[in-house]
Amino acid sequence: MDYSSFHRFAPIIQNLSSSELKGADSLFEKLLMKREGDLSISYVPFEFINKEARVVIVGITPGKTQMVNAVAEVRRQLDSGCSAEGALQAAKLTGAFSGAMRPNLIALLDKIGMNQHLGLRTCEQLFGTRSLLAQTTSALRNAVFLRNGNYNGTPNMVKTPVLKRELMSGFAVEARLLPEAVFVPLGGTVADALAYLVSEGVIKRHQVLDGLPHPAGANAERIAYFLGRKRRELLSVKTNPDKIDREKALVIAQVSSLGSLVHGGVIQ
């Protein structure tokens, strides 16, 4: 695994102030990797790749919450004398989809039957005792910001050179190391990015299980309808229930077709 960025930024992380470890503006400048126009990319210690993963959960890019949590965990691990790989593995487990997104993500994965496919009681275990079954990642592995706000898919990452380079140098390399895994893109933006990688031969179409809404709070109504927590007649005009129903049926069928990895109660 390429830990060159980690070795570049680890000394900076070890000297961050307490306010920076909590997300002060200077944190993002100190970990800045590149800036082009209104877009900036800051380092996030998410290089760890779990090559044993059966499922790869793919977000758009780490947001500020995930970046701060991951950096704080790496600092804690380094201060305790942990190795680079150990610190990065801990940061991934702690920071990936952290905050309000994680409960939504777990509920969505359970709803489509991913827990049954993996032989789990709930996909919450992917962030605990069964973390080796999953790789959590993002199409843009480092934190991308648009005018200092979290990047949400605009401009299009495969049509924007700086973002396309980030996609191909980070996630595409990672994906090639996981040829037997299935990929779960979160939201249409990530699904489009994975479709591009399919067209480029990086991953195969049958590996992609698309149809889940992104677990961000901004998608609360779509998530609630997908999970059956909000009735169709109560939806706002911003939510298209027919589209959600189609995508939900498709992804459930895809997961069901995978069968179970469990034989005799043991994950194979």
pLDDT digits (tens, 9 = 90+) for 44-90: 999 999 999 999 999 999 999 999 999 999 999 999 999 999 999 99
pLDDT in tens, 211-229: 999 898 889 999 999 999 9
* Whether pLDDT at 261 is above 90: no
pLDDT at 64: 93
pLDDT bin (cut points 50, 70, 90) of residue 267 is very low
Helix or strand run (H / E) with residue 7:
helix 4-14
Burial tier of 99 (Cβ tally within 10 Å: 0-12, 13-18, 19+): middle
pLDDT at 150: 93
d(CA 255, CA 250): 9
User: Is pTM beyond 0.85 here?
Assistant: yes
pLDDT at 210: 92
pLDDT bin (cut points 50, 70, 90) of residue 266 is very low
Say if CB 63 and CB 214 are below 8 A apart.
Answer: no
Bond into 185 cis (ω within 30): no
d(CA 128, CA 106): 12
pLDDT at 268: 43
Half-sphere exposure of 145 (CA within 13 A, CB side): 21
d(CA 199, CA 144): 24
d(CA 233, CA 253): 25
d(CA 262, CA 258): 12
Helix or strand run (H / E) with residue 256:
helix 241-258
* Whether pLDDT at 260 is above 80: no
pLDDT at 143: 97
* Whether pLDDT at 262 is above 80: no
212: nearest Cα among 95, 74, 57, 63: 57
91: nearest Cα among 195, 186, 168, 3: 3
Rg of the chain over Cα atoms, rounded to whole angstroms, equals: 18
pLDDT at 99: 79
Strands (E), 155-215: 182-185
* Whether pLDDT at 254 is above 80: yes
The length of the chain in residues reads 268
Of the listed ranges 170-184, 191-205, 250-264, the least confidently predicted one is 250-264
28: nearest Cα among 8, 47, 42, 9: 42
CATH class of 4-267: alpha beta
Task: Give the mean model confidence (pLDDT) for residues 94-103.
Answer: 84
Report the percent of the chain where pLDDT is more than 90.
Answer: 87
Mean pLDDT value across the chain:
93
pLDDT bin (cut points 50, 70, 90) of residue 148 is confident
pLDDT at 202: 96
- Domain definitions of the chain by residue range: 4-267
pLDDT in tens, 105-128: 999 999 999 999 999 999 999 988
